[in-house]
Structure 1
Amino acid sequence: MVATNNLLKEIADTWKLEAKQENNIRYFFHIDESKKVLSGERFYVIGRKGSGKSAISEYILNLPKVDIEKGYNIFTEKLSFKNFPFNELYSLGNDKYTQPNQYITIWKYIIYSCICRLVVKNESIDSEVRKVLEKLYPPDPVKSLSRLIDKWTTKEFGAQILGTGGNIKVDQISSFQDLSWIEKTNILEDIIEQYIDTSKYYVVFDELDEDYRVFENPKEQQQYINLITSLFKAVQDVKSIFRDKKEVICPIVFLRDDIYNLIKDTDKNKWGDFKISLEWDEDKIKRMLAFRISKAIDPNGDVLPFDVAWAKVFKREEVSMGDGGNKRMNIFDYITLSTQLRPRDYIKYIQVCSERTSSEGGARITAKTVKSLDKAFSNYLRDEIVDEVHALLPDIINILSIISQIRKWNFSIQEFKDTYNSYYKNKTVTNGNVDYVLQMMFDFSVIGNRPKNRFVSFFKYSNPEARFNFQENIVIHRGLFKALQIL
């Protein structure tokens, strides 16, 4: 158990923004949505950056270590498309399908190949089957997904494999190298159908947004969207083929919600039955923070109630606000005002506060410290938004400069348009469609709406169904005030 005076140092040192860099086994907070993914009931995970997609992905990858008793029965493979040359996949379309379905077969082939790689590790599977599959899929770590897929799709891949006719038998060995990867897909499907056991096989597709950037032309963007659409359909197809093994064969796709929203397909409405959207409210955030603080205190201890856990990290003080500091607000609500209700935002704010207080020898974070680090957090949030929005708005840094020039948190749409158009005229920004710019900033909660004679603002992060109202005033997100020098 961590002593009280060392708790802040523990948080400062062990809480990380990136799930890969954190002790996921210790800090993973189960939500109802993640349980549905683990059971195989849901297999599309959609959410904003910082909403917890990578945390679930990393937890799945670590499942064999998490459940010691059942770990021998769980096999996981994570396919990261970070720095992946997507052009290799674009060249592997199946001409039997029309757009956007032309990549379904290559995705199925990748899924089946991954499962066969995992089968090799499973000592419960027939040894002769594993021996044959091991020739094709040596149980080495996936160091380069690009080279792996390149190898799997070459004509020479697979000198020998199980026979293809009738009932597959181990002693029926035939040539595999003369077949196309499309034909090999059907063979692998038959092998999995006949020899798979009741173990769990998770194949995780993550970091698919790495190729989502500023496309040179609409055709290039559509090619990327077609590839993602085909993946969703391939996963649904695999789950349908193995519907009696839905808890056994578990391919899972993690994708940012803004990219998911770009998919236009007649089948998309049906995906709702298999999709989870990672959305957070204050109650869920409090439960997540109570869990993390409790695990920072004692990895094996009970989870404390939120108020108890929070009081071990923060002093029971209020933050002064407004002109002259006349208004006062409790620390949690003050931090919440600066966030977009994402776990990552709270982790960042509490982490930097813990680091500052710990370095100064304090035992608990004060309201003064929280307020003094408001600007640092504001700069973090600005950088996060720039990184997230840049693919859709390449001019995002200059667009934020427009807001800094206006220097108000609440102003009319016409005032923004006038300033924006002057930037466009001077070629400081390149997108002449100011309505599109406003819509994108609303979608990423840089701005919200403020109805006349109302003291409430509407932001997308707190209401995913919200629509931007071009007749109402613009309000800037509170967390960006300091970074954008808003008075």
Structure 2
Amino acid sequence: MGNNILEKVNFGHIDAEADPNLIRYFLETDSYKRIFSGEKMYVIGRKGTGKSAIYLSIEGINDINFPVTGLTFDDYSWQVHNKIKDESKSIDFAYVNTWKYIILLELAKLILKEQKADSKEVNEIKSFLQIVYGSLTPSFREFLVDKTRRIKCLELPKIPWAELSLGKLEFEDQKTPERKLIASINVVNSILQDKLFHLLSSDKMYFVMFDKLDDGWDNSEEFKSSMIGLLRACRDLNLESRKCYKHLRCIPFLRSDIYDCLQYNDKNKAYPDIEFLNWNLESLKIIINKRISYSLGKGMQSSWEHIFDTKKLAKRTTNFNYITKRTLLRPRDIIQFCASCKNMALRNHHHKILSEDIYEGENEYSEFIYREFIDEAHKQCPEIEQFFEILRGLRYERFTFENFEEEHKKSGIAKSLNSSVVLKNLFDYSIIGIERIGGKVGGSRFEFKYTDPLIRPEFNRTIVIHPSLKKHLKLIERRKR
């Protein structure tokens, strides 16, 4: 056992933040390059597609030419944040200035960190931060909310900017703290933006990034409006910086299911600015090979073959194709499946991962995917576990709409929803797919939303449950004819 090569292999953690070696085998994909260069402004992807890995990779850059700040919104005061909106504007624009204020203050902190000599603008920004926050480096969590989680008080007459010409601002018609704050923010933003953009070096790229936004996701209209505001604020400031020949990269990292829920005017206008994170078989294999190579200190060329037996599985399928077919083409999935296979191989005292280890490891992996689906969908679709019970009751991997409708009625589950609505929810999360007949190679195949985001849910065709769930739901492969 001491010489077992498998013991040395570490596929890494499925959570980028929990992987201390991520920087060692991070894959600089074309997506990463487009995001870094500013060609793309938004990063949209399903859970597990590598959003946080890209975020952490950029955040970890230690180069004076690339000042970076990253904001993560776990344990954030969303309830208070969502109260601070401009009610004089439409829901599409209500939160834009709130987010611009957060971005501009983070940019101010970056500029003060790099500025060696004081100037008029630098001193004014320092005075602003010191007067309002009592610090030159306040946490973004305190920009809108004080330490007791109450609305921040922003008293404009105390701010030493002569050009504000504030005199005595009256807030008689703005009685609530949130209305007072947004009124102040509306005044401050344009002046703060002008000062900061003047101080930006044209030779540097400045990054302000937003991750873990889904931690506050509650499917409410307020949160949707807030996310729309963030997207608009980031795009506006990025474009404004270009007009000044400066390089500001405001980048939100957002889950695709949340983005799909956001409906606003001109949403399609920003489509060319979005980087949708997608993976293929080749890039997934590179991810695993880099991790094997790093673990073993060997070249990448045959890393997979170092630890996986080359014997084919049932139906003459290669082990790589068998594993990837049961993923949703996400790094998280293949990392977890490979780790489960490795654990089984060690338990079985094998020096390579054999077919039986893959079959046994699939049991653990299938349960993992089941939990992933529930974790991803439960806020948008609280009945998701009940929907899985209907699928379990079908017993077969493939079925028709009539089969599902019959099982739905028989189960007594989710009676208030018709079967089409239930299937649409399952389809949107790629828990089920539909049959496609024909194409270049003829025959039929099954397609899921993760393989084709524009695919339409035509439930008059044969429907299939994703292969990753077969073991956990104890499904039979096909109906007997």
Q: Settle same-fold status: TM greater than 0.5.
A: yes
Work out the CA distance in 2 between the residues paired with 1:247 and 1:430. Answer: 57
Q: Aligned pair 1:226/2:260, yes or no?
A: no
Assess, with a 3 A threshold, how the Cα gap between structure 1 residues 254 and 247 changes in structure 2: closer, same or farther.
farther
Runs (4+) of structure 1 exceeding 6 A deviation are: 157-160, 174-179
Question: In structure 2, how many angstroms separate the alpha carbons of the residues matched to 1:164 and 1:291?
Answer: 57
Q: Shift of the alpha carbon at 1:154?
A: 2.6
| Counterpart residue number, 1:456 | 445
**Partner residue, 2:474:** 485
Per-residue deviation at 1:237? 1.0
Counterpart among 299, 318, 336 of residue 330 in structure 1 = 318
Q: 2:98 is paired with a residue of what secondary structure?
A: helix
Q: Say if 1:31 and 1:431 are closer, same or farther in 2 by CA, change over 3 A.
A: farther
Give the structure 2 partner of residue 43 of structure 1: 41
CA contact (8 A) 1:117 1:133 kept: no
**Who is 2:173 aligned against?**
none
Matched, 1:394 2:398: no
Determine whether 1:187 maps to 2:191: yes
Residue number among 300, 303, 310 corresponding to 1:304 in the alignment: 300
Q: Name the counterpart of 1:443.
A: 428
CA distance in 1, matches of 2:352, 2:138: 43
What secondary structure sits across from 2:47 in the alignment? coil
Alpha-carbon distance in structure 2 between the residues aligned to 1:359 and 1:485: 23
* Contact 1:132/1:160 (8 A) holds in 2: no
SS in 1 for 2:249: strand
Structure 2 match to 1:418: 406
Q: Aligned ranges for residues 43-442 of structure 1 at < 5 Å?
A: 43-64=41-62, 71-124=63-116, 126=118, 130=122, 133-134=125-126, 136=129, 138=135, 140=137, 142=139, 145-151=140-146, 154-156=152-154, 163-165=161-163, 180-197=184-201, 198-213=203-218, 215=219, 221-244=220-243, 248-298=247-297, 304-305=300-301, 308-319=302-313, 321=314, 327-358=315-346, 362-423=350-411, 426=412, 428-429=413-414, 431-442=416-427
118-127 vs 44-53, which deviates more?
118-127
Unaligned runs of 5+ in 2: 170-179, 477-481
2: CA distance, partners of 1:184 / 1:156: 10
Pair 1:247–1:281, CA change in 2 (3 A): farther
CA distance in 1, matches of 2:126, 2:473: 57
Query: Aligned letter for 1:449?
Result: I
- Matched residues, number: 450
Partner of 1:465: 454
Q: What is the CA distance between 1:450 and its match in structure 2?
A: 2.7
Counterpart of 1:218 in structure 2 is none
1:68 aligns to what?
A: none
SS in 1 for 2:446: coil
Q: What's the CA shift for 1:275? A: 0.6
Partners of 1:96 and 1:241 in 2: how far apart? 23
* Aligned residue identity for 1:259: I
Q: Distance in 2 between matches of 1:328 and 1:128?
A: 72
Distance 2:158 2:9 in 1: 53
**Residues 56-75 of structure 1: per-residue CA shift (max 9 Å, x gap):** 111111112xxxxxx12322
TM-score (norm 2): 0.85
Residue deviations 1:132-156, cap 9 Å, x none?
A: 54551746584xx543431497334
Opposite residue 466 of structure 1, the aligned amino acid is I
**Other structure's SS at 1:184 match:** helix
CA distance in 1, matches of 2:9, 2:156: 50
Moved more, 335-344 or 244-253: 244-253
Measured after TM superposition, the shift of residue 292 of structure 1 is 2.9
In structure 1, distance between residues paired with 2:157 and 2:293: 54
SS for the counterpart of 2:353 is coil
Question: Is the contact between residue 143 and residue 152 of structure 2 (CA under 8 Å) also seen in structure 1?
Answer: no
Q: Give 1:21's aligned amino acid.
A: A
> How far off its partner does 1:263 sit?
1.7
Letter in 1 for 2:95: Y
Conserved 8 A contact 2:341-2:362: no
Report deviation, 1:383: 0.6
Amino acid at match of 2:300: L
Distance in 1, Cα, partners of 2:3 & 2:188: 59
- Residue by residue over 1:162-181, the C-alpha shift from the partner in whole angstroms, topping out at 9 and shown as x without a partner, is 63539xxxxx9x99999812
Aligned partners of 1:229 and 1:121: how far apart in 2?
A: 30
Q: Distance in 2 between matches of 1:96 and 1:193?
A: 27
TM-score, normalization by structure 1? 0.84
Contact 2:111 2:199 in 1 (8 A): no
Q: Distance in 2 between matches of 1:4 and 1:55?
A: 32
Is the Cα contact below 8 Å between 1:125 and 1:195 reproduced in 2? Answer: no
8 A contact 2:197–2:246 mirrored in 1 = no
For structure 1, list consecutive stretches of 5 or more residues without a partner in the other structure. 65-70, 167-171, 216-220, 322-326
3-state SS of paired residue (2:86) = coil
State the distance in 2 between where 1:229 and 1:29 align. 30
The amino acid that maps onto 1:371 is Y
Q: Per-residue displacement from partner, 1:24-66 (whole Å, max 9, x unpaired)?
A: 31121111111111112211001111111111111111112xx
Distance in 2, matches of 1:452 and 1:72, equals 55
CA shift, 1:276, in A, is 0.6
